Amino acid sequence: MDKKLKESIANAARSIGNSLPVLTGVILLIGLIETFVPKSIYPTLFSNNVLLDPIIGSGLGSILIGNPVTSYVLGGELLLQGVSLVAVTAFIVSWVTVGLIQLPAEATLLGKKFAVARNILSFIFSIIVAITTVFIISL
């Protein structure tokens, strides 16, 4: 086997190995949420309103930050619970791009003005991206 191919396979295996604990944690968290949060709460949080749902989804994603891989699993579970696609899309985009929990560290490293502006713009654009994406998909 070629040396580069062996290195690539080793890197891929390491990457999968590093992702497994995170995915396992998300799956366990989803199980806990399904057990302790009644399914009747989702319709009360999300009303299938094209303008309100992405705002709520972006708000939740901004607070509950995470990485892209886990957001797809969580987003799929939200869709199965009847949450609208626009809310899930906004959640996924803001989950990855907005980080209220890490804002103090980001402000220290990159400057307060930049960190706040980046988070506000990311929040706004997560809503715009969600609405635009769902509109394009529905065409």
pLDDT tens-digit map of 12-41: 999 888 878 877 876 777 677 667 767 667
Tell me which residue range forms the domain holding 59.
38-137
**What would the pLDDT profile of 89-137 be if each residue is shown by its tens digit?**
999 999 889 978 788 878 888 889 999 999 999 999 999 999 999 999 9
* Residue 30 in domain: no
Q: Is 83 within the bounds of a domain?
A: yes
> Would you say residue 13 lies in a domain?
no
Whether 5 maps to a domain, the answer reads: no
The DSSP string of 12-65 is: HHHHHHHHHHHHHHHHHHHHHHHHHS-TTHHHHH----TTHHHHHHHHHHHHS-
Residue 22 lies in a domain: no
Provide the domain count of the chain.
1
Asked if the structure places residue 33 within a domain, the reply is: no
Looking at residue 34, its pLDDT comes to 67
Write the pLDDT tens digit of every residue in 31-90: 776 677 676 676 678 888 888 999 999 998 888 777 787 788 888 888 888 899 999 999
The DSSP call for residue 102 is T
Closest listed residue to residue 79, CA positions, set 50, 125, 48, 58 = 48
89 lies in some domain: yes
Flag whether 128 is in a domain. yes
